Homo-oligomer: A and B are copies of this chain.
């Protein structure tokens, strides 16, 4: 077996899963955000794939396999050729036809059912694949967590109606709960935004991890969990005090909320903040300016703004100061909602209920006090733009929320008829009427799940694989290379394990015992059976990777105990 462990992780590795997967030699970096899997690593990938396959099959989903290369035309039909932005790898063939490397497969699968499904009798149906996906991430990082080439399981359900979709979605929700539990993850199913997928209901499956890139809030009182992007924030109660006359005041050099609040002796929640954006069109040229307003103590939730605008994320950028001032009449640092022109104004839903706030005057070094919605300004859009915070009240029950971080290992979407309508995927119902097929879409990041397992299961010496996804179950280590008694016993144990269907490694390398122990810890094989001095008496050391201490046992007991553990945890960890 080819093994190449590293004493030190490369500097690029910032989080434990990345460090340990590299140090144990399970993965190898080929380019920024592009990794290969070495023998031990690929065994674990295949185990996760097999868990996913079993749980998908158990729900009646059918495995297929589509190409990574996808013709641009399908993405133009669905409207996503533009929406996907620079994250989509695009390429041309030798005849200059446009293709992409699929970041996901809604278009391809919709096209399949469009061509192959005509009658209600063929529905419902769920098709899935375990396949390589591509995203040209702006900042690939954390190894497998945010990679540019990765393995994903993607499934698509096709139903006659909304009720069918609800059932399909439930089945997938259930399958996902089982998959991640079997992989040994501590995770949460979290209400999520559906982003560029479209549709109106979505859950993310978040493996809890300090270093996770996803932010969520959880309510310990009612159990609600939601991504920060998606979390509805309750407006402050409407105020009832009388509107005072608006008053322009000189506030020299107060470009930030902190400055102006301090200068005027106000708390931040008595002010309004403005955020200025430029939105570009499909040709990349400027299409409009957008100015968003929130109460001065709030932060903007960018996802909510983008959803409100109905444009792709990559089309929105901070506005260039000089241009936005020239076009809209705002003055950066002193932007307020009164007297703007030539821009879309979006106002947080809380502002209309607030009285006598202090806002920018659109004039350098000036603010206006006692600004009130309706009397002083109005807006095209009034919507919740607020970013939720640790401690905010739960929108369901009012108890204080707790912020948490996670690694998104899966996401499921109720797509509805977005794709079937745009791409023309219809079926004939019992009355021979054409109806749009109702779709759902369901993803699991297979290689990211591998990383999440390591992120949650490691110590200072290496990985602690759960039996269900470990590359091997048992490592049999010979302490002294070449010792006849040790070699004979180790080989007997190894053979007994293989005969019983366990996956075992025999470490018979000509290395010091310390090196072999260190490697075994690094690889995280759940059970180590060490054959040393007492080999002649049939006595070995038995150690579970997740426990500190080794125990002396007869070799027969060691084999029996290992097999018992494997049997118990092969299909997922026991309840803990």
Instruction: Please give the residue numbers on chain A whose beta carbons come within 8 Å of chain B beta carbons, in ascending order.
Output: 1-2, 4, 25, 28, 30-31, 34-39, 41-43, 45, 62-71, 86, 89-91, 93-94, 97, 99, 101, 108, 111-112, 115-116, 122, 125, 127, 132, 134, 136, 138, 148-149
Contacts and interface: CB of A to CB of B under 8 A. Distances in A.
B89 A90 contact: no
Given A31-B71, A37-B65, A94-B136, 14 more contacts: A2-B125, A30-B70, A30-B111, A31-B70, A31-B97, A34-B67, A34-B71, A36-B66, A37-B64, A37-B66, A39-B62, A68-B68, A86-B94, A132-B132
B112 A28 contact: yes
Contacts of A111: 30
A86 B108 CA distance: 26
B34 A69 contact: yes
A148 B1 contact: no
Contact of A68 (B97, B108, B132): B132
A173 B140 CA distance: 41
Nearest to A71: B31
A81 to B, nearest CB: 15
Nearest to A30: B67
Interface of A, secondary structure class, is mixed
A-B CB proximity, top 10 nearest: A36-B66, A4-B116, A91-B91, A37-B65, A39-B62, A31-B71, A34-B67, A42-B65, A67-B149, A86-B94
Nearest to A70: B30
A63 B36 CA distance: 11
B2 A68 contact: no
A467 B34 CA distance: 38
B68 A39 contact: no
A122 B2 contact: yes
A42 B91 CA distance: 26
B2 A69 contact: no
B69 A134 contact: yes
Contacts of A101: 91, 101
Given A2-B62, A30-B70, A67-B30, A94 B39 contact: no
